[in-house]
Structure formats: C-alpha cells, structure tokens
Amino acid sequence: MSAWSQLPLFEPPADDWTFSGAQTHSLTHCYHDYPARMIPQIAAKLIARFAPRPARLLDPYCGTGTSLVEGLIRGHEVHGTDLNPLARLISRAKLTPLPLAALDTACDDLEAWLRAPIGQPQKLPRGINLTFWFQPAVIERLAHIRAWLDQLSDDGLRAFFAVAFSETVRECSNARTDEFKLYRLPQKRLAQHTPDVFGTLRAKLRRNRAGLCEFLAAYASAPRQSRAYLHAFDSVKGIPASSIAPESVQIVITSPPYGDSHTTVAYGQFSRLSAEWLDLPDAARTDRALMGGVPLKDLPSFNVPALDSALQTIYAQCPKRALQVAAFYADLRASIANVAQVVARGGIACYVIGNRKVCGVLLPTDRAVQHFFETVNFEHVVTYQRAIPNKRMPQRNSPSNRVGVTDETMTREAILVMRKR
C-alpha cells in the first residue's frame, strides 16, 4: 500500500482555514494582481498536511502559480498549466530564482533608458482601440518601455520586467482598475486621470525585487532544489504523457475557476490590455478558450441531483445562461477525469471551490466536484470550510443580468480533499 494512503483522514473541527489578516503578498506572490487568487497560506497548509515530503505537485488551473511557488520552496517538483498566456508569464516570473546581480544591472540599464529622450514609437498594439483605452502621453511612454523590453535576451529577466510592465499598463490605462472586466473610466474621472507611467513602473519593480529577495531566501533553504514546469495544455482535452506521465503525481492543489468567463470572472478581459502590449498570443480569444467558453446546445444531466435541479431552474428563467453554466460543468468533469489519470494510487487531490449563484440559484459545485472524482475511483477524505476575507472578488454581482438587480457573491469556500483508491 502506498505511503500516501496512510495519511490521516480527518482533522479537528476547530481547524482554521480562513487566515483572516494573513500577509498574502509575501515572496513573489506580490508580483501581479489577478482575479480570485488562492491565497498562499491555503496551499502551504495543504502541502504540510498531505505532502510533507518532496513529491510531484500538479496545479491544472495554475493561474499565477500560487500553489507552484509554495511547492517549489518546499522542495517539490511542481507542474502547472493555464490557458491564459498572461497567467503563464506571471507564473514563470514568480518561479524563476533570478540572480540579484543580473537584475540590478538590468534595472540600472532601464533607468538610463527611461531618462533618455523618448523617440517615435516603433511598435504599438493593434488588437485594441489604443486611443480609447490610453491617453497619448501614456501610449508614448508605454511604447518607450516596450522598446527596452524587446532588447532583453534573457528569458528570466524579460519575464520579471514584463510582469511589472503588465501591471503598469493596467494601472495607467483608461480602464477601471476596480473591475476585472474591461470598463472605461467615466468622463469625469478621465479628466483627472494623469498617470505617472515611469513612476508606476519603478514602484512595481521595487516591490517585486523585495519579493524576489524573500523568495530566493526561501528557495535556498528548501530541502532540495527542485524544478518548476509550466505547460500550456488544456486539461479538458487531455494531459499529454510527454508532459506528465500517468500515475506520477502525488498531490494536486488547485483552485479551478468558479464558472465560465461569460457569467463569472472574465480572466481574458482582465488580461487583455497587458496581453496586447506584450504581444501575447490569442489575447482576444482567451475567455472563449477557458472552461465553459463554448456553450452547449442542450442541457445535459450530470447525475448530481442538486446540480441538475439548479440547472433546470436556471434554464426555466434563461435557457442561454443555463447552457453557458452547463458547459462549464461539462468541461470541469472532463478535466477532472484527465487529472485523475496522472494521479498515483493513494495520491491526493485538493480543490478549493466556491459555490456561486446564477439567476439567484445556488450552484453546488462542491458536490459536483466530489461526484466527478468519485466516478473516477477517488474517495472523499475531508472537506474544510472557510470564509473568504481576503480573496479579491466583488461583494455583489448581477446574477440575472438585469440592470439594478444584484445579489451577494460568494463569502465562503470549500476545500475538498479526495484520495485516489
């Protein structure tokens, strides 16, 4: 019997997973904002509890790499995949133990470049209405920075500076930074919007360098110097054996999307302006590529009574929205089946899940995920409940898409732990 199957099944009921007031931006976790991130304390606690010895860790929806960073500094071999190219870029930067001497030399070079006269922009984004989203002075300064970025040949350095540039793009744009979807600032606020592009970039670089110093210290003290692997495969379609061999993963730690981008967090819209400036691939099609991006034509049965009932209720109110939501669950089920194939016998899968509302109907994602795993030879170990004090999510949304009609969003999450038989 595998040693992984000898781990304790249950924990004391007083076990706290809320981490209210915890510092969630230590190490390289400070590098870049991103929607609905898993906080590092959750990943760290799950690793300590279910993978105390160095092992192979997988995050099939890794986002900006929170679980991967926490695994890497504890000596695990970490693998992550995400279909959002900006998320992969941020993850790569966060996972790279960049030498400080090389970074400081590059920072000095950049500072000299920023102080030099700004020339005619050589390369500008073409996939967006540039003058709608950026003021002329902002465009010329962003283009000046981008020209310097294009001179960098070292992949690690380029990722580090590109991430700081990405946040600078978003904060200096005409977009509302308190929204994940792309909304332009109202005219009154635009009139007072005079962003300091170079100052913003410098502040991001100072913050990220401090985070890198923390990361380097933690990485140096890891029980072994393991490696991180970032992939771009779609776990819904399959996990290539050339990337991750069958039954080779000891622990999965992940926080899948709460739902499809149409009705929940629009990761592609959040990333769009930065992705265009960085010339990342398929910037306009990211949301459609993610789980549930292509709606179904008919409402299926998932053999989860609470989920099927909820979908039927939504369908009676809005068939189109019900089919969008069902597409997400169909993709999530397919992804879980593929993830199950690479988990070793006795291995653990930890999914951080939020039950959201659509059209006022609560969707039991936790029950659905448990059922999907049980159909592929996993058993339930434990479900931890936590309040959400520090996960950046809107407090209210419009679950019916009717103007003025809002409802509370998620205030709790479930951490579902399953073990492969």
pLDDT confidence bin for 176, thresholds 50/70/90: very high
Q: Do 195 and 263 have their domain in common?
A: no
| CATH number for the domain harbouring residue 43 | 3.40.50
The pLDDT score that the predictor gives to residue 391 is 54
Tens of pLDDT, residues 99-134:
999 999 999 999 999 999 998 888 899 999 999 999
Q: Do 174 and 261 have their domain in common?
A: no
Q: Do 391 and 242 have their domain in common?
A: yes
Q: Do 154 and 248 have their domain in common?
A: no
The pLDDT score that the predictor gives to residue 408 is 57
User: What percent of the chain shows pLDDT beyond 70?
Assistant: 92
Q: Do 325 and 379 have their domain in common?
A: yes
Q: Do 152 and 198 have their domain in common?
A: yes
| Lowest-confidence pick of 2-6, 152-156, 271-275 | 2-6
User: Is the residue at 56 inside a domain?
Assistant: no
pLDDT confidence bin for 392, thresholds 50/70/90: low
User: Is the residue at 137 inside a domain?
Assistant: yes
The pLDDT score that the predictor gives to residue 339 is 98
Question: How many other C-beta atoms lie within 10 A of the C-beta of residue 78?
Answer: 28
Q: Do 355 and 387 have their domain in common?
A: yes
pLDDT confidence bin for 75, thresholds 50/70/90: very high
CA atoms within 13 A on the CB side of 405: 8
User: Is the residue at 274 inside a domain?
Assistant: no
Q: Do 256 and 335 have their domain in common?
A: yes
Q: Do 389 and 259 have their domain in common?
A: yes
The pLDDT score that the predictor gives to residue 180 is 83
* Domain total of the chain: 2
User: Is the residue at 39 inside a domain?
Assistant: yes
Residue 252 amino acid letter: V
The pLDDT score that the predictor gives to residue 207 is 98
**In residues, how long is the chain?**
421
The pLDDT score that the predictor gives to residue 419 is 98
CA distances from 195 to 138, 168, 341, 403 (A): 8, 10, 49, 31
User: Is the residue at 222 inside a domain?
Assistant: no
Q: Do 237 and 163 have their domain in common?
A: no
The pLDDT score that the predictor gives to residue 390 is 57
Q: Residue 352 belongs to what domain range? A: 3-47+232-267+284-420
User: Is the residue at 63 inside a domain?
Assistant: no
Beginning with the edge strand found earlier in the chain, give each strand of the sheet holding 412-420 in spatial order: 228-231, 77-81, 56-59, 249-254, 343-353, 412-420, 378-387
More confident residue, 161 or 406: 161
User: Is the residue at 377 inside a domain?
Assistant: yes
pTM: 0.92
Q: Do 254 and 389 have their domain in common?
A: yes
The pLDDT score that the predictor gives to residue 330 is 97
Q: Is the pLDDT of residue 13 over 80?
A: no
The pLDDT score that the predictor gives to residue 345 is 98
**Interacting residues of 367 by C-beta distance below 8 A, sequence separation 6+:** 304, 306, 307
Q: Do 239 and 386 have their domain in common?
A: yes
User: Is the residue at 188 inside a domain?
Assistant: yes
Q: Is the pLDDT of residue 1 over 50?
A: no
CA atoms within 13 A on the CB side of 132: 9
Helix (H) or strand (E) holding 254: strand 249-254
